[in-house]
């Protein structure tokens, strides 16, 4: 494409979709500003700083790493939300609390494993008030047991919820299902609060720190998150592309009626959607706690909107979109700090969510549904 | 059960206001009974405390459910950003009324205005933010709108929480949100307290003589004040939804496409309803969260939004009375009462263990005491589990009725031929279609169709299934935007105009499958149609001085509606719900409705399908009669006999193009038409 064509294409875009045009200008400004900031200079116009400031490469890299880590866990949790959104066709507001449930199940299992054989009261082993904090390098086995428990336990939870709540109303419109999920969210969140209390507990802290560059370090827990989420994403990809079930799921996300008449056992696909989505949500929650170190009964609920943002930015129904959207939202959440005061970075992530819904509801990674 | 059913039946017959008042009094009595059971010496004062708190909650939630019901129940706008709009209202009120020189250290200065300025200011601000949010989001799917609003509410909360908004100075005026610590302002409760201790001193003395403390009297007074506000809102909203404005809202709820095709700019109505709802939410935010003259960001988390939803769903969305009953049930029985019971539940001597393990493990030695005590100690947590379960139970047994969504494209047949066809010239045509194209993805449904319709004519549009007739109709009437070509009506280019704009210029349509508004009466269906009704303005619908004009206009609308119903001989069905009509009667109703828009030209999409011969004659007679009055008709019909007998000009479409046109004889002798109908190649 020649320059003239690009220019005329750009002009056409600016006229037909002014929102997109404005967005492009804003993004361009941010990129230029970032580069100028990295070079350490400031460009002034009439005494007002136009672009620039100061930002070290090290702090940019560590922001990128932070964003990537949170984004991967959010993306992992988002896969389940994206799948239920496209296959069962409703926005599941209980997904955040599913994430919490997975984290609690996983960390209880990790805590029990870590204290196996120790002379401690059950309440001390089972609950998180003892101040025990695990790291991936120093307590690898408990962390792994917790990971598996988070996946398996959450599957149990979501299957039970589906049986009790959503199955009796299969085929209901998406707003009814959405409201039911609000009920599930409340019940699940406060059941967790009933059992574990409403305090925030520290459960994980890193035991090893690797200095990669000056100003950029990564901990064992962060590496564990990186490794686990990356391998799970590859696993999900293989599952959807290579197995018959994966194809059936993709078909159903595309058109449920058509899938049913071609003989796809929809109820089985629905169950598998919950299993896969639940397991990934549980692991996502478990990893988020591994990264942040603390756990509380409503941390998944608080992050739900962030997960929604990931799913919507990536395109509802697209599993790769959820992963990429997660990373993108994670990066926005952490990189926004370059331009915005710390109190408003989360607001920036939500603003991205709104902008995407308004300008491109099919997500920025194209309108391709499901994988 | 029969006794209960009986009681319900009787309750059903009560006027709504009596029912609501009776229910709230019953709730008070329940709370007083609980207080009497646990209060001992202090029972009276405890009861007064309970009643005061629960009245405040009922009043606040009722305001919120009424507002949400207007948005969701009446217009289908699924707003889960309630907390955000409450915050806008409360913070605006706070900033306007905070003292210019705060007496407390660290207090944020404001504008020092009185509350009667601050509260309306908050409502206006909430309404404006609501309009800004709704304007771009209206075209979104309901669940996307939900996510946009909840994200917006979080952005608002994060903004007021932000340190940078804590205190700013512009134009010499210092103000701010107070950041995470919040902001103190003129307490609405203080106003009530001054009244009570001033004018109401005798009441206070009387209350104190029976053991009720003065603060509790203030509590109750404030709660009753909120209830009075609820009553006023209820009255106002009922007026609004029963006005012509409300009639349009109801129509939108049922079928937005039809409402648009009758010339109503549905977006405008939706935004207005949304803004009114947001204003009420803003007011509730100030009076509920800010009742003591202090607010902070933590009070506006999305959780409160979901409590309001729970309350509305319990009461049943779509009804103002139900909204208030739902708010009362939710706050009194699910939210407030369990917490009070939990505080006072007998624990049989066991003290509450500190955690679940110590509560459950004694079960091993068959000692349920600790668990009971633990449960009792955590009732305020468990009530939310209960609320969740109730919500799921209700929605499983009474799913919400899905709202109408504007029509989306449905693809018709494809075609590959590209021979342009033009029609014979007609003198000064009323409708000119030139080279009309419509593609759906890769499918071309209409492929360069051109024809003209003479004023005062009855023109027939025929063609085999999939010829593109309905898509042509949809492109002409603004339901689909054409891919190419032009449509001219009355000499003006109207290509791609919205259907309500076209309807207002005199070009209207009926639908292939009759789309009556089934939950509205036949009369209401017809009364909806006349253009530019005075009462369609929300302000005119409720304001005392202007309502007289509305009533007068409404009398005319009713009169004309009866005449129209008479003309189509369905006046005897006027008060039936349109959904109960037979197929043929629905077609007649649709004709009556579309004619009430005072059109110049009507596009009829298979008006005779499913109509029995007697009704068919009646319909055709009416059309002939209307033509004599100067109306123009374009008719899509499968009944060849009718077309050939009644239409003076016939257009044949095939594969998205005009194949032939002329009078009945010309068409009947045209080889190509025969072939098209018999499926041969052209």
Q: Are A195 and B356 a contacting pair, CB within 8 Å?
A: yes
Looking at the DSSP bridge assignments, the partners of residue B447 are B437
Q: Which of A26-40, B377-391, B484-498 has the lowest mean pLDDT?
A: A26-40
Per-residue pLDDT at A110 exceeds 80: yes
Chain A stretch 152-181, residues whose beta carbon is closer than 8 A to a beta carbon of chain B: 164-165, 168-169, 172-176, 178-180
The alpha-carbon gap from B151 to the nearest alpha carbon of chain A, in Å, equals: 6
Task: Please indicate whether, in this complex, the C-beta atoms of B391 and A305 are within 8 angstroms of each other.
Answer: no
pLDDT recorded at residue B420: 37
Beta strand segments in B427-477, E: 431-440, 443-453, 458-462
Residues B184 and B314 in one domain: yes
The alpha-carbon gap from B604 to the nearest alpha carbon of chain A, in Å, equals: 32
DSSP sequence for B189-202: HHHHHHHHHHTTHH
**A49 in contact with B, Cβ within 8 Å:** no
Residues B307 and B435 in one domain: no
Per-residue pLDDT at A262 exceeds 80: no
**Cα atoms in the Cβ-side hemisphere of radius 13 Å centred on A47:** 0
pLDDT recorded at residue B564: 87
Domain ends where: B277, B312, B344?
A: B344
Q: How confident is the model at residue A116 (pLDDT cuts 50, 70, 90)?
A: confident
Q: How confident is the model at residue A143 (pLDDT cuts 50, 70, 90)?
A: confident
Per-residue pLDDT at A263 exceeds 90: no
Q: How confident is the model at residue A200 (pLDDT cuts 50, 70, 90)?
A: confident
Q: Are A221 and A287 a contacting pair, CB within 8 Å?
A: no
DSSP sequence for A24-79: HHHHHHHHHHHHHHHHT-EEEETTEEEEE----HHHHHHHHHHHHHHHHHHHHHHH
d(CA B450, CA B468): 12
- Highest-confidence segment of A18-27, A156-165, B186-195, B590-599: A156-165
Q: Which of B66-75, B252-261, B395-404, B596-605 has the lowest mean pLDDT?
A: B395-404
Q: Are B183 and B195 a contacting pair, CB within 8 Å?
A: no
Q: Which helix (H) or strand (E) holds B493?
A: strand B492-493
Q: Nearest CB to A127: which of B355, B390, B400?
A: B355
B143 versus A143: which is more confidently predicted? Answer: A143
Q: How confident is the model at residue B88 (pLDDT cuts 50, 70, 90)?
A: very high
Per-residue pLDDT at A191 exceeds 90: yes
Residues of A in contact with B75 (CB under 8 A): none
pLDDT recorded at residue A5: 64
Mean pLDDT value of segment A146-150: 92
Per-residue pLDDT at B362 exceeds 80: no
Q: Which runs of consecutive H residues, i.e. helices, occur in B445-543?
A: 469-476, 499-505, 522-528, 538-542
- Highest-confidence segment of A314-318, B200-204, B527-531: B527-531
Q: Which of these, B509, B500, B487, lies nearest to B606 by C-alpha position?
A: B509
Q: Which of these, A163, A152, A148, lies nearest to A270 by C-alpha position?
A: A163
Mean confidence (pLDDT) of chain B: 83
The string of pLDDT tens digits covering residues B264-320 is: 888 888 899 999 999 999 999 999 998 888 899 989 988 899 899 889 988 887 788
B75, B370, B380, B381: best mutation site toward chain A, by most A Cβ within 10 Å?
A: B381
**A186 in contact with B, Cβ within 8 Å:** yes
Q: How confident is the model at residue B350 (pLDDT cuts 50, 70, 90)?
A: low
**A308 in contact with B, Cβ within 8 Å:** yes
d(CA A339, CA A91): 32
The string of pLDDT tens digits covering residues B456-469 is: 888 888 888 878 88
Closest residue of chain B to A161, computed from CA coordinates: B392
Which two three-digit tokens encode residue A162?
Answer: 């589906």
pLDDT recorded at residue B449: 87
Q: Are A355 and A23 a contacting pair, CB within 8 Å?
A: yes
pLDDT recorded at residue B230: 93
Question: Could you tell me how many residues make up chain A?
Answer: 371
Q: Which residue ranges make up each domain of chain A?
A: 56-359
B121 versus B672: which is more confidently predicted? Answer: B121
- Say what percent of chain A tops pLDDT 90: 17
d(CA A186, CA A181): 9
Q: Nearest CB to B155: which of A184, A196, A350?
A: A350
Cα B94 to chain centroid, rounded: 29
Q: Which residues contact B169 (CB under 8 A, 6 or more apart)?
A: none
Q: How confident is the model at residue B413 (pLDDT cuts 50, 70, 90)?
A: very low
B391, B402, B405: best mutation site toward chain A, by most A Cβ within 10 Å?
A: B391
Task: Please indicate whether, in this complex, the C-beta atoms of B147 and A129 are within 8 angstroms of each other.
Answer: no
Q: Is residue B216 part of a domain?
A: yes
pLDDT recorded at residue B655: 85
Task: Please indicate whether, in this complex, the C-beta atoms of B358 and A123 are within 8 angstroms of each other.
Answer: yes
pLDDT recorded at residue B347: 60
Q: Is residue B24 part of a domain?
A: no
Task: Please indicate whether, in this complex, the C-beta atoms of B150 and A189 are within 8 angstroms of each other.
Answer: no
Please state at what angle helix B214-241 crosses helix B244-254, rounded to 10 degrees. Answer: 80
Which DSSP letter does residue B334 get? I
The string of pLDDT tens digits covering residues B435-492 is: 888 888 778 888 888 888 888 888 888 888 878 888 888 888 888 888 888 888 888 8
How high is the ipTM of this complex? 0.83
d(CA B424, CA A276): 64
Q: Nearest CB to B147: which of A164, A174, A357?
A: A357
Residues spanned by the domain of B285: 49-344
Looking at the structure of chain B, the number of domains it has is: 2
Burial degree of A78 (CB within 10 A; 0-12, 13-18, 19+): buried
**Cα atoms in the Cβ-side hemisphere of radius 13 Å centred on B329:** 19
Q: Is residue B380 part of a domain?
A: no
Residues B455 and B326 in one domain: no
Q: Which of these, B644, B639, B662, B641, lies nearest to B652 by C-alpha position?
A: B662
Per-residue pLDDT at B421 exceeds 70: no
* 3 state DSSP class of B487: strand
**A196 in contact with B, Cβ within 8 Å:** yes
pLDDT recorded at residue B2: 57
Residues B440 and B332 in one domain: no
Q: Which of these, A83, A98, A99, A163, lies nearest to A292 by C-alpha position?
A: A99
Cα B216 to chain centroid, rounded: 38
pLDDT recorded at residue A113: 86
**A355 in contact with B, Cβ within 8 Å:** no
d(CA B147, CA B155): 12
Mean pLDDT value of segment B321-325: 89
pLDDT recorded at residue A371: 40
d(CA B457, CA B624): 10
Which two three-digit tokens encode residue B570?
Answer: 């369905």
Q: Is residue B537 part of a domain?
A: no
Task: Please indicate whether, in this complex, the C-beta atoms of A182 and B310 are within 8 angstroms of each other.
Answer: yes
Residues of B in contact with A354 (CB under 8 A): 148, 151-152, 155
Q: Which of these, B445, B467, B453, lies nearest to B423 by C-alpha position?
A: B453
Which two three-digit tokens encode residue B492?
Answer: 């003006």
Residues of B in contact with A304 (CB under 8 A): none
Tell whether the torsion through CA atoms of A191, A194, A197 and A202 is positive or negative: negative
**A184 in contact with B, Cβ within 8 Å:** yes
Q: Are B60 and B290 a contacting pair, CB within 8 Å?
A: no
Closest residue of chain B to A85, computed from CA coordinates: B143
Mean pLDDT value of segment A332-354: 83
Q: Nearest CB to A187: which of B78, B150, B389?
A: B389
Q: How confident is the model at residue A45 (pLDDT cuts 50, 70, 90)?
A: low
Per-residue pLDDT at B83 exceeds 90: yes
The string of pLDDT tens digits covering residues B105-116 is: 667 888 888 888
Which two three-digit tokens encode residue A148?
Answer: 């598996």
Strands B458-462 and B294-295: unpaired
Q: Is residue B563 part of a domain?
A: no
Q: Are B677 and B464 a contacting pair, CB within 8 Å?
A: yes
Task: Please indicate whether, in this complex, the C-beta atoms of B158 and A347 are within 8 angstroms of each other.
Answer: yes
Per-residue pLDDT at B569 exceeds 70: yes
* Angle of CA points B11, B14, B16, to nearest 5°: 105
pLDDT recorded at residue B11: 61
pLDDT recorded at residue B189: 87
Which two three-digit tokens encode residue B649?
Answer: 């000009």
Residues B441 and B302 in one domain: no
Domain ends where: B344, B377, B400?
A: B344
Task: Please indicate whether, in this complex, the C-beta atoms of B388 and A185 are within 8 angstroms of each other.
Answer: yes
A85, A128, A162, A186: best mutation site toward chain B, by most B Cβ within 10 Å?
A: A186
Q: Are A20 and A359 a contacting pair, CB within 8 Å?
A: yes
B126 versus B216: which is more confidently predicted? Answer: B126
Query: May I ask the CATH class of domain A56-359?
Result: mainly alpha
Task: Please indicate whether, in this complex, the C-beta atoms of B403 and A122 are within 8 angstroms of each other.
Answer: no
Mean confidence (pLDDT) of chain A: 82
pLDDT recorded at residue A368: 45
* Angle of CA points B34, B39, B45, to nearest 5°: 95
Residues of A in contact with B355 (CB under 8 A): 123, 127, 129, 197
Q: Are B441 and B411 a contacting pair, CB within 8 Å?
A: yes
Task: Please indicate whether, in this complex, the C-beta atoms of A186 and B147 are within 8 angstroms of each other.
Answer: no
Q: Are B92 and B86 a contacting pair, CB within 8 Å?
A: no
Q: Is residue B402 part of a domain?
A: no
Domain ends where: B344, B362, B385?
A: B344
Residues of A in contact with B357 (CB under 8 A): 121-123, 126-127
Q: Are B614 and B585 a contacting pair, CB within 8 Å?
A: no
Task: Please indicate whether, in this complex, the C-beta atoms of B159 and A347 are within 8 angstroms of each other.
Answer: yes
Which DSSP letter does residue B577 get? B
Task: Please indicate whether, in this complex, the C-beta atoms of A173 and B402 are within 8 angstroms of each other.
Answer: yes
* 3 state DSSP class of B216: helix
Per-residue pLDDT at A157 exceeds 90: yes
**CA diameter of chain B:** 102
Q: How confident is the model at residue B129 (pLDDT cuts 50, 70, 90)?
A: very high
Q: Is residue B673 part of a domain?
A: yes
Mean pLDDT value of segment B24-28: 90
Question: Could you tell me how many residues make up chain B?
Answer: 682
Sheet harboring B601-605: ordered strands across?
Answer: B507-509, B601-605, B632-636, B458-462, B649-654, B657-662
Residues of A in contact with B391 (CB under 8 A): 179-180, 182-183, 186
Q: Which of B1-10, B158-167, B212-221 has the lowest mean pLDDT?
A: B1-10
* Residue linked to tokens 């123009």: B632
Q: Are A354 and B152 a contacting pair, CB within 8 Å?
A: yes
């Amino acid at each position: 494409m020649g320059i003239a064509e690009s220019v005329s294409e750009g002009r056409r875009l600016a006229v037909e979709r002014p929102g997109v045009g404005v967005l492009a200008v804003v993004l361009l400004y941010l990129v230029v500003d970032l580069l100028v900031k990295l070079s350490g200079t400031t460009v002034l116009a009439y005494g007002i700083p136009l672009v620039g400031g100061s930002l070290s490469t090290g702090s940019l890299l560590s922001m990128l790493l932070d964003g990537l880590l949170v984004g991967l866990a959010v993306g992992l949790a988002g896969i389940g939300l994206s799948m239920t959104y496209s296959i069962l066709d409703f926005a599941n507001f209980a997904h955040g609390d599913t994430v919490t449930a997975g984290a609690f199940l996983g960390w209880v299992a990790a805590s029990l494993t870590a204290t196996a054989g120790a002379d401690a009261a059950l309440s001390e082993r089972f609950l998180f008030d003892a101040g025990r904090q695990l790291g991936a390098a120093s307590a690898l086995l408990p962390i792994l047991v917790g990971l598996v428990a988070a996946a398996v336990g959450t599957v149990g939870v979501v299957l039970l919820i589906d049986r009790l709540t959503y199955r009796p109303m299969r085929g209901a419109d998406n707003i009814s299902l959405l409201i039911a999920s609000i009920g599930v969210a409340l019940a699940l969140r406060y059941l967790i609060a009933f059992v574990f209390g409403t305090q925030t507990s520290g459960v994980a802290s890193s035991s090893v720190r690797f200095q990669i560059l000056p100003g950029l370090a990564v901990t064992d827990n962060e590496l564990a998150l990186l490794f686990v989420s990356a391998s799970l994403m590859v696993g999900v990809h293989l599952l959807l592309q290579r197995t018959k079930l994966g194809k059936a799921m993709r078909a159903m996300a595309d058109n449920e009626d058509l899938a049913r008449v071609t003989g796809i056992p929809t109820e089985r696909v629905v169950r598998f959607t919950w299993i896969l989505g639940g397991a990934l949500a549980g692991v996502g929650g478990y990893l988020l706690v591994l990264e942040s170190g603390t756990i509380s009964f409503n941390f998944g609920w608080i992050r739900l909107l962030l997960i929604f943002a990931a799913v919507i930015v990536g395109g509802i129904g697209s599993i790769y979109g959820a992963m990429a959207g997660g990373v993108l939202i994670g990066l926005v959440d952490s990189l926004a700090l370059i331009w915005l005061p710390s109190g408003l970075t989360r607001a920036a992530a939500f603003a991205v969510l709104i902008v995407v819904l308004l300008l491109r509801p099919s997500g920025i990674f194209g309108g391709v549904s499901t994988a | 059960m029969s006794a209960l059913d009986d009681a319900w039946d009787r309750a059903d017959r009560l006027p709504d206001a009596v029912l609501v008042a009776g229910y709230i009094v019953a709730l008070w009595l329940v709370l007083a009974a609980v207080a009497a059971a646990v209060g001992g010496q202090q029972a009276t004062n405890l009861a007064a405390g309970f009643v005061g708190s629960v009245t405040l909650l009922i009043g606040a939630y009722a305001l919120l459910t009424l507002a949400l019901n207007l948005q969701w129940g009446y217009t289908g706008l699924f707003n889960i950003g309630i907390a955000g709009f409450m915050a806008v209202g409360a913070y605006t009120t706070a900033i306007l009324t905070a003292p210019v020189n705060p007496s407390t250290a660290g207090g944020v200065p404001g504008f020092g205005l009185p509350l009667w300025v601050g509260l309306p200011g908050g409502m206006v601000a909430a309404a404006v933010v609501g309009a800004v949010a709704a304007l771009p989001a209206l075209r979104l799917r309901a669940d996307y709108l939900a996510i946009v609003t909840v994200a917006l509410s979080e952005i608002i909360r994060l903004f007021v929480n932000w340190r940078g908004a804590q205190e700013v100075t512009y134009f010499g005026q210092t103000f701010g949100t107070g950041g995470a610590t919040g902001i103190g302002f003129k307490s609405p409760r203080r106003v009530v307290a001054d009244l009570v201790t001033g004018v109401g001193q005798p009441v206070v003395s009387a209350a104190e003589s029976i053991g009720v403390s003065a603060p509790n009297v203030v509590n109750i007074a404030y709660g009753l004040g909120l209830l009075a506000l609820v009553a006023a809102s209820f009255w106002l909203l009922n007026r609004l939804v029963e006005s012509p404005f409300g009639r349009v809202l109801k129509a939108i709820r049922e079928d937005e496409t039809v409402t648009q095709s009758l010339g109503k700019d549905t977006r405008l109505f939706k935004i207005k309803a949304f803004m009114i709802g947001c204003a009420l939410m803003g007011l509730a935010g100030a009076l509920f969260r800010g009742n003591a003259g202090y607010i902070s960001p933590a009070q506006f988390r999305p959780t409160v939004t979901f409590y309001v939803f729970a309350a509305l769903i319990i009461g049943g969305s779509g009804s103002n009375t139900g909204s208030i009953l739902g708010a009362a049930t939710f706050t009194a029985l699910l939210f407030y009462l369990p917490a009070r019971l939990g505080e006072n539940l007998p624990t049989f001597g066991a003290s509450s263990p500190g955690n679940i393990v110590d509560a459950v493990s004694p079960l091993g030695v068959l000692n349920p005491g600790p668990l009971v005590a633990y449960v009792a100690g955590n009732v305020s947590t468990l009530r939310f589990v209960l609320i969740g379960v109730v919500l799921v139970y209700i929605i499983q047994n009474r799913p919400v009725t899905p709202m109408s969504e504007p029509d989306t494209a449905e693809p018709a047949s494809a075609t590959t031929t590209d021979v342009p066809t033009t029609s014979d010239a007609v003198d000064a045509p009323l409708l000119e279609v030139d080279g009309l194209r419509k593609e759906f993805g890769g499918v071309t449904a209409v492929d360069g169709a051109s024809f003209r319709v003479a004023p005062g004519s009855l023109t027939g549009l025929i063609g085999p299934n999939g010829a593109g007739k309905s898509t042509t109709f949809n492109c002409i009437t603004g339901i689909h935007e054409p891919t190419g070509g032009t449509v001219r009506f009355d000499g003006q280019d109207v290509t791609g105009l919205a259907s309500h704009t076209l309807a207002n210029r005199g070009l209207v349509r009926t639908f292939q499958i009759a789309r009556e508004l089934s939950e509205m009466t036949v009369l209401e269906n017809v009364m909806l149609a006349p253009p530019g009704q005075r009462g369609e303005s929300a302000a005119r619908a409720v304001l005392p001085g202007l309502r007289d004009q509305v009533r007068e206009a409404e009398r005319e609308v009713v009169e004309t509606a009866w005449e129209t119903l008479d003309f189509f001989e369905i006046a005897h069905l006027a008060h039936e719900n349109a959904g109960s009509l037979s197929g043929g009667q629905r077609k007649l109703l649709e004709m009556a409705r579309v004619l009430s828009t005072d059109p110049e030209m009507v596009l009829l999409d298979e008006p005779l399908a499913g109509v029995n011969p007697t009704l068919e004659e009646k319909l055709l007679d009416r059309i002939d009669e209307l033509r004599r009055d100067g109306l123009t008709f374009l008719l899509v019909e499968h009944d060849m006999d009718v077309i050939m007998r009644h239409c003076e000009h016939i257009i044949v479409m095939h594969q998205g193009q005009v194949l032939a046109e002329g009078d009945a004889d010309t068409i009947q002798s045209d080889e190509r038409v025969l072939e098209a109908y018999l499926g041969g190649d052209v």
